Amino acid sequence: MHSFTEENYLKTIYYLATRQQGEVTTNALAEMTATKAASVTDMLRKLADKQLIHYRKYQGVRLTSEGERLALKIIRRHRLWEVFLVDKLGFGWDEVHDMAEELEHIRSDELVERLDKFLEHPQFDPHGDPIPTTAGAMPQTGYRKLSEVAAGESVCVMGVLEHSPEFLQHLNRTGLTLGCSITLREINAFDKSLLVQIQPESTLFVSHDVARNLLVEGE
């Protein structure tokens, strides 16, 4: 079996690999896991011994297919528990990350599959992230960032790239929650901020920082 800590490294390597290209660096991992580079190096050697990552000294790291399988399993658990916490226990989407971070390490495949069934096989977590399948596939979505949408387009808010409580609470306050339909009225050339109309009639400014962390779906 794999330790709590090993599972977190695998998940973090997966996460970083999807946002960068090439191999994941020691420093990036140290920052994400809030440890020091030397500690990361220790763990990388251990994961490489277990054939969960491809590791070449000084060159960075990449998951093996077994490592990716495990990472997706952890992510599946995390996202299913988040659905449980929000849909069944009534938590807000800004409150569930830390709890899911613990729940994702409960070791029982049967538990996960029963939870999935209990939740009626959700496809997305409360932040709009797709839930990997039992078979270990990550469903692809065609979402774009709001910051890449052209003026005049109407789109639907489908997810977020930033999961911090601060960001999510800001969205709560402005009404930019999942599923809401918006039309992009203007793009400010100076600071790239957006004038957005939320259906049916409220209008608000959205900073570029917010817009590039909001995922939206076509017209």
Partner DNA sequence: TCTAAAATTTAGACTTGCCTAAATTTTTTG
Partner DNA sequence: CAAAAAATTTAGGCAAGTCTAAATTTTAGA
- Work out what residue 108 binds among its own copies, DNA, none; the CB cut-off runs from 5 to 8 Å by kind: its own copies
Among 36, 45, 88, 121, binds its own copies (CB under 8 A): 88
Minimum CB separation from its own copies for residue 170, in Å? 22
String marking each residue 46-75 x if it binds its own copies according to CB under 8 A = ------------------------------
Residues 6+ apart with CB under 8 A from 52: 2, 6, 10, 63, 64, 66, 67, 70
- CB distance 74 to 109 below 8 Å: no
- Contacts (CB under 8 A) with its own copies, residues 95-114: 98-99, 102-103, 105-108, 110-111, 114
CA 209, CA 186: separation in Å to the nearest integer?
16
Measured from the Cβ of residue 153, the count of other Cβ atoms closer than 10 Å reads: 14
Q: Identify the H or E element spanning 158.
A: strand 154-160
154 burial via Cβ count (<10 Å: 0-12, 13-18, 19+) = middle
Contact pick of 13, 72, 74, 85 for its own copies (by CB under 8 A) = 85
How many residues bind DNA (CB under 7 A)? The answer is 27
15, 32, 33, 134: which one binds DNA (CB under 7 A): 33
The answer to the question of residue 134 lying near its own copies (CB under 8 A) is no
Contact call for residue 12 and DNA (CB under 7 A): no
In the 8-state DSSP scheme, what is residue 85? I
37 binds its own copies (CB under 8 A): no
Q: Which of 59, 61, 58, 98 is nearest to 82 (CA)?
A: 98
Residue 104 Cβ, how far from its own copies at the closest point, in Å? 11
CB-wise, 91 or 124, nearer to its own copies? 91
Considering the rule CB under 7 A, would residue 102 count as an interface residue with DNA? Answer: no
| Residue spans of alpha helices (H) in the chain | 4-19, 26-32, 37-49, 65-83, 97-103, 109-118, 165-174, 208-211
Chain contacts with its own copies (rule: CB under 8 A):
85, 88-91, 98-99, 102-103, 105-108, 110-111, 114-115, 118
